[in-house]
Amino acid sequence: MRISDALSPARELTVPFQSAELHVTYRPISYTMEQLDEIQAKTEETGGSAEERRARLDRVLDIMTRLVVSWDLTDDEDVVINPENRDAMRKIPMNVFTEILAAVRKDQSAGEA
């Protein structure tokens, strides 16, 4: 069996917000132990230069662009935001990302039960 055969297929979920729901198709991220160790080490860093802080935020973008396959999130002109467009993703409030990550975590936990 190839490693790629063990990766999960894309899943759909609904992320509730106060006045609307966001529909997300995501691909569960599978990291190697090396990648997890690197992410953990870099996430625990605090402070630092502007470049170091930007690098930490870029890691959030890396995770989100790998995680989100598609969604119905639009800008204020009702244009769907491409989750692979890093410049567009930088304009999204962080709470959207945290709610998506929480919903994915909950979905994955339910799948493991």
pTM of the model: 0.75
* Token representation of residue 86: 């890093």
User: What digits encode the pLDDT tens for the residues 28-84?
Assistant: 776 566 765 666 666 556 667 778 778 878 888 888 888 899 999 999 999 999 999
What are the contacts of 105-112 at 24+ separation with CB within 8 A?
A: 107/11, 107/13, 108/28
Task: Please check the confidence at residue 4 and state whether its pLDDT lies above 80.
Answer: no
**Distance of alpha carbon 94 from alpha carbon 92, whole angstroms:** 6
Domain boundaries, the chain: 3-112
CA distance readout (Å), 2 to 5, 7, 67? 5, 10, 21
